[in-house]
């Protein structure tokens, strides 16, 4: 809908864009999301986070995915979707608990309607479909937004999730953030399909390919998909064409598999610059409002720094407490072995 200069694309009726008020709120969320990415990356360099997979450059996908959902809908994020979880309203300090290595999930999934961030590729997709299908069986109007990357589409769980959702018309929206690399593997080595959206044909799932750096287009497409799912129309597959500006994580050397010229070509397509140009031209974004948004982002960053200042107090034995209601013999054995090793370490330290 908007080109990289913030102009309405030729042939697009400006009246079909989301309302200016919604786009302005979206821009504020983009500013906060970018600041969150930068702050989390800084925490890694300071040794206060174990790892951080930045979504710098993909913030429009994150913000749109979170903002099109209703209060009772569910978001199923991946490890790279921290900004989406924050946009959904989860405390950013709690979001980083996983990446600090202190707990599997730092927030209450049921209270927030946000599933734990998933590190293995695509394993959250069948879970998302299960929640959506259960809601449909119970007569609820819940919709599930399931996020994944291009690498996840090569996994068997992606196939099972799409196939089940299609057959049972589960109210779920699959958003594939195609950022061109599964760590170091380029898209051309992952799939021979003309696009990832084209995979929807084989499952009987309607699909769309959308500019993943255009918040207006993303919001329009995802909102329509959510409404379709809510009204009983079944699942939708959306491929967002975007790019991972930074490395896979702080442990990755992206220069080994891509060059600076490739990255430079994507910098002008920054979702923040594009939407800022449009909103400024429309007269709804000025220096005063921009400063106010920046202040909100800085307050969030300060909250994250304060919440990450203390030493972690993780209890290793907690790993075994919430796996099964009644621990299995294998879990008891492992728990006892860990307890013995910890006791031995403590005695040796004395």
By annotation, the residues acting in catalysis are 244, 248, 257
- Rounded to whole angstroms, the Cα distance separating 297 from 33 reads 8
Residue count of the chain, please give it.
350
**Neighbour tally for 344: CB within 10 Å:** 10
The angle that helices 287-307 and 20-45 make with each other, rounded to 10 degrees, is 40
∠ Cα 282 285 286 (to 5°): 120
Which tokens belong to 18?
Answer: 């989301």
Question: 191: how many CB neighbours lie within 10 A of its CB?
Answer: 15
Neighbouring C-beta atoms of residue 339, cutoff 10 Å: 13
Please say whether the beta carbons of 53 and 35 come within 8 A. no
Query: Cα dihedral angle (112, 113, 118, 123), rounded to 10 degrees?
Result: 170
Cβ atoms < 10 Å from Cβ of 90 = 23
Q: Among candidates 171, 165, 168, 144, which has minimal Cα distance to 228? A: 171
What is the rounded distance in angstroms from the CA atom of residue 279 to the CA atom of residue 29?
Answer: 14
Helix, strand or coil for residue 195? Answer: coil
- DSSP line for 34-87: HHHHHHHHHHHHTTSSS-----TT-HHHHHHHHHTS-TT-EEE-BTT-HHHHHH
CA distance 22 to 31: 14
Question: What is the token pair recorded at 65?
Answer: 């995915």
| Radius of gyration of the CA atoms of the chain, in A | 21
The H or E element that residue 340 is part of is: helix 329-349
């Amino acid at each position: 809908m908007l080109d990289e200069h913030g102009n309405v694309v030729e042939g697009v009726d400006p009246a079909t864009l989301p309302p200016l008020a919604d786009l302005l709120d979206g821009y504020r969320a983009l500013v906060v999301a970018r600041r969150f990415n930068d702050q989390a990356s800084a925490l890694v360099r300071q040794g206060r986070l174990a790892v951080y997979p930045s979504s710098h450059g993909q913030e429009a996908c994150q913000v749109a995915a979170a903002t099109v959902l209703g209060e009772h809908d569910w978001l199923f994020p991946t490890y790279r979707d921290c900004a989406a979880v924050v946009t959904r309203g989860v405390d950013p300090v709690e979001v980083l608990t996983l990446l600090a290595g202190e707990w599997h999930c730092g927030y209450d999934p049921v209270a927030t309607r946000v599933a734990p961030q998933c590190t293995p590729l695509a394993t959250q997709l069948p879970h998302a479909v299960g929640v959506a299908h259960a809601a449909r069986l119970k007569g609820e109007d819940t919709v599930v937004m399931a996020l994944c990357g291009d690498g996840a589409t090569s996994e068997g769980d992606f196939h099972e999730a799409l196939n089940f959702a299609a057959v049972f018309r589960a109210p779920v929206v699959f958003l594939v953030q195609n950022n061109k690399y599964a760590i170091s593997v380029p898209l051309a080595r992952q799939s021979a399909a003309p696009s990832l959206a084209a995979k929807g044909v084989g499952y009987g799932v309607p699909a769309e390919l959308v500019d993943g750096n255009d918040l207006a287009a993303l919001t329009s497409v995802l909102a329509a998909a959510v409404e379709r799912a809510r009204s009983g129309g079944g699942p939708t597959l959306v491929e967002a064409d975007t790019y991972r500006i930074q490395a896979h994580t702080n442990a990755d050397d992206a220069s080994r598999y891509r060059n600076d010229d490739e990255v430079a070509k994507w910098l002008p397509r920054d979702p923040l610059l594009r939407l800022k140009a449009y909103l400024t031209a429309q007269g709804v974004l000025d220096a005063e409002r921009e400063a106010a948004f920046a202040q909100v982002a800085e307050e969030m960053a300060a909250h994250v720094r304060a919440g990450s200042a203390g030493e972690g107090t993780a209890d290793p034995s907690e790993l075994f407490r919430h796996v099964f209601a009644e621990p299995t013999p294998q879990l008891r054995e492992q728990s006892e072995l860990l307890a013995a090793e910890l006791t031995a370490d403590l005695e040796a330290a004395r």
